[in-house]
Structure 1
Amino acid sequence: MGLTGKLSAQIEYKSSGDVFHKVFRYMPHEISNMSPNIIQGCDLHEGELGSVGSIIIWKYTHDGKEKVTKEIVEVIDEEKKLVTLKLIEGDLSELYKIFRATFHVETNGDIDSVTWTLEYEKHNEDVEDPLSILGLLINLTRDIENHHLKAR
C-alpha cells in the first residue's frame, strides 16, 4: 500500500448543479444552514469569496467529533463548474501531508451530477484512506440538495 491515493464519488443531483457550484464558490458560509449536522461554520480568513487564493476555515463534525480545517481555494474553473480546496492547516493535517478536495458539476441531458475527488498523501502507512471524509462529502451534498429541493 502506498502513502498517496485518490478517491472519488459521483452523486446524481436532483436540484440544480449550477446552484450547488455557486453555493460552494460564493456562499460557503450558508452551508451550515443547509447541513447543520455536518458544518457548524465557515469563515473567510483571507481573500475574497469565490476567488482563487482565498483562505476558508471550516468547522465541521466528523465521526462524532468537532473538527476544524483551513483550506485555500486552489483552482476554480467556471466552465467545468469545478473548485479545488487544498488543506493548509487543521485536524486533517495530523493524518495527511497533502489533502485536496475537488468537486465538479456535470450536466448530461436533464441530469446533473456532483463528483467529489480526494487526493491525498498520508503521513504513514497506519493512516487510513479518507473513505469516511468522502462519505461526509456525499452526505453534505445530499443535505444541500435536499435544502434546495424543499425551497422549490
Structure 2
Amino acid sequence: MALSGKLVAQIEIKSNGDVFHELWKANPHDVPKLTPTTIQKCETHSGEAGTVGSVLFWNYFHDGKDSVAKTLLHDIDEEKKSVTFKILEGDLLELYKNFIIHIHVDTNGLNNLVTWTVEYEKLNANVPDPNTLLDFYRKVTKDIETHHVSTASN
C-alpha cells in the first residue's frame, strides 16, 4: 500500500471563477463569512495575506469535529489561476506527514470549473486516504458559489 497519494475533486460553479480565485488568493479571511458551517475562522499568523510565504491559521469543522490548521501560502500562479497551501501544523498532521492543497480555477464565460487537488503522505499504512476532505471542499465550493450567485442577483 502506497503511503503517498493524490486526490482530485472538480466542481462546476455558476459564479465568477475569477472572483473565486481572488478569494482564495488575496481574501481568505472572507471565506468563513461565506461558508460558516464548514470554516469558522481564518487569521493571518505571519506575513501579509495574499502573498507567498504568508501563514494563515484556520478553524474548521470536518468529520464531525472542530479542527485547526496552520497553512503556508506556498504558491500563487495568476496565469493558471491556482493557489497552493501547505499544511504546517494542525489536525491533519496527526495522520499525514505532508499535506498540500491546490485550488485551481478554469474560467470560460459562465462555465467555471474549480479543481481541488490534495497531495499527501500518510504517517503509516493504516491511515485512510483523505476522501472525506474532498467532500468538505465540495461543500465549501458550493457554499461560496451560492453566496456569489445570490449576491450577484441582488
Normalization by structure 2: what TM-score? Answer: 0.96
User: C-alpha distance in 1, partners of 2:109/2:30?
Assistant: 29
Aligned twin of 1:46: 46
CA deviations 1:85-131 (Å, max 9, x no partner) are 00100000000000000011102354111000000000001110000
Q: 1:127 to 1:40 in 2, by over 3 A?
A: same
Paired positions, count = 152
- Residue pairs, 1:3-152, within 5 angstroms: 3-152=3-152
Gaps of 5+ in 2: none
Q: Following the alignment from structure 1 to structure 2, what is the Cα–Cα distance between the partners of residues 96 and 64?
A: 19
User: Cα distance, 1:63 vs. partner?
Assistant: 1.2
Deviation readout 1:45-66 (Å, 9 max, x if unpaired): 0111111100001100001100
- Partners of 1:127 and 1:101 lie apart in 2 by 18
Q: Which runs of 5+ in 1 are unaligned?
A: none
The two structures have a TM-score, normalised by structure 1, of 0.97
CA RMSD of aligned residues (A): 0.8
- AA of the residue aligned to 2:106: E
